[in-house]
Amino acid sequence: MEFVKSVPNDKEQILAAIKSQINTHREVDLKKMLEELHPADIAEIIESLAEKQRVSVFGLLSSEKAAAVLYELNSEIVAPLMESLDKSIAAEIMDEMSTDDAADIIGDLKDEDKAKLLNLMEYADAEDVQELMDYPEDTAGGIMTTEYVAIREDITVERAIQVVREFAQEAETVYYVYVINERNQLVGVISLRELILAKSSATIADVMRRKVVSVNVQTDQEEVANMVAKYDFLAVPVVDNNNQLLGIVTVDDVIDVIREEATEDMYLLVGTTEIDDEEDLYHRIRKSVRYRLPWLLITLMSGVISGQIIKSFSGALNAMVALAFFIPLLTGMGGNLGTQSSTIIVRGIATGQIDSRKILHNIIREGLVGLSIGLICGFIVAIFAVLWQGKPILGLIVGLAMWGNMVTAATIGTLVPLLLKKLNVDPAVASAPFISTTLDNTGLIIYGSLTMLFFKFLI
């Protein structure tokens, strides 16, 4: 978590310099240049190189740096890069890695590559990594690291600082020191800040905080992230059902979770998926089509139903073709309002701002918004229809349809994600395509019914 190195102000320039140094085999300069860069930047540079150049640049890194870079690299590059290295060097790099980073990297690989990389590690480490990989990816266990500093409560502050010094190189964060008892149960915590402020002769038991916020290893990663965000923690300890300390989740991983979850929700809301800039154009498009098409086919089926609904009042439509003019207006407005409602609910549930158990409360609130907006929009549309077509009855039908449509839209847009949450399905699948096409059909049913009702006045 702690590289404070130079960030290239002009990446293109650095990249050009590196390429020229590869071509002219000025390895010493290149090595020096790379050592000064942040691993995240080196990873970006390596990804933009041709495969052969990747290997030669990666090979120049110290094993410590290489481990950090490996973590930042796109998973598809990792396996071929490691295989191109000497076995002993590859093993050294794997040893430099924290177990959670190793688990993340290896977890993303194909099965045959997984075994290869695990075999490079020391037995104890490999076991730890294997264990970490067994936790579901989106739980506290899946994002935690096992490299933390834990001490016993009977030692002195002076001794504790010594322990921190010893572990500072290896641990992910030394800014919290956890206190455990003989059964490895979490009994306290002390921050490094408090530790250096404390009297060196005091025992840890005297100065530690006994009330520790921890999360269970099975807690959903989104919940862990919300907790860290709320309490401004730098790390949170992870325990099993017996309160035994298993690991910690650090704030940098929490940031990744928050960003990922937001992206995932946004994409899910419109029925699409992340694009991966590493793959070539053909694969990216194929992947994109494969993911987005099913959602759009559902929309398509729903559109066919829309056609069927319109067909059912085609008698009226034949008599007065102006009825068709208002179809996109009605369906579009319903879809937009409904999508607003469902987005508010989905995001509110994710950030913990909305209590998903208060179904009625939320429906009333959004329903009233729909009622108000529907009243205004219905009125405007009615006026417009009368002025445009000169038929008051058409204005009445269109205005009422708009109003009913908006109330339905707000209600359904609110209800669907809340119900999904209750069924333990990610509420973000209450996506815009799904909500808006459903609302196309409810809107058309309302419009058709009103048309039928007033049909005799229309012609």
Least Å distance between CB 317 and its own copies?
5
Least Å distance between CB 50 and its own copies?
19
Nearer to its own copies among residue 114 and residue 247 (C-beta): 247
- Rounded to 10°, the helix 51-59/75-83 angle is 70
Which residue's structure tokens are 């590559």? 113
Q: Which residues neighbour 333 within 8 Å (Cβ) at sequence distance 6 or greater?
A: 377, 402, 405, 406, 409
Least Å distance between CB 208 and its own copies?
10
Nearer to its own copies among residue 181 and residue 288 (C-beta): 288
N residues, the chain: 459
- Residue 406 and residue 334 in contact, taking contact as beta carbons nearer than 8 Å: yes
> Helix, strand, or coil here: 180?
strand
Q: How many CB atoms lie within 10 A of CB 230?
A: 10
Nearer to its own copies among residue 115 and residue 285 (C-beta): 285
Least Å distance between CB 362 and its own copies?
10
Nearer to its own copies among residue 52 and residue 259 (C-beta): 259
Nearer to its own copies among residue 175 and residue 454 (C-beta): 175
> Helix, strand, or coil here: 118?
helix
> Helix, strand, or coil here: 335?
helix
Nearer to its own copies among residue 364 and residue 425 (C-beta): 364
> Helix, strand, or coil here: 100?
helix
- Residue 377 and residue 295 in contact, taking contact as beta carbons nearer than 8 Å: no
301 conformational bin, left if phi > 0, alpha if psi -120 to 50, beta if neither: alpha
Nearer to its own copies among residue 132 and residue 254 (C-beta): 254
**Torsion sign over Cα 247, 248, 254, 255:** negative
Least Å distance between CB 311 and its own copies?
6
> How far is residue 228 CA from its own chain's centroid?
15
Least Å distance between CB 373 and its own copies?
6
Least Å distance between CB 114 and its own copies?
25
Q: Which residues neighbour 25 within 8 Å (Cβ) at sequence distance 6 or greater?
A: none
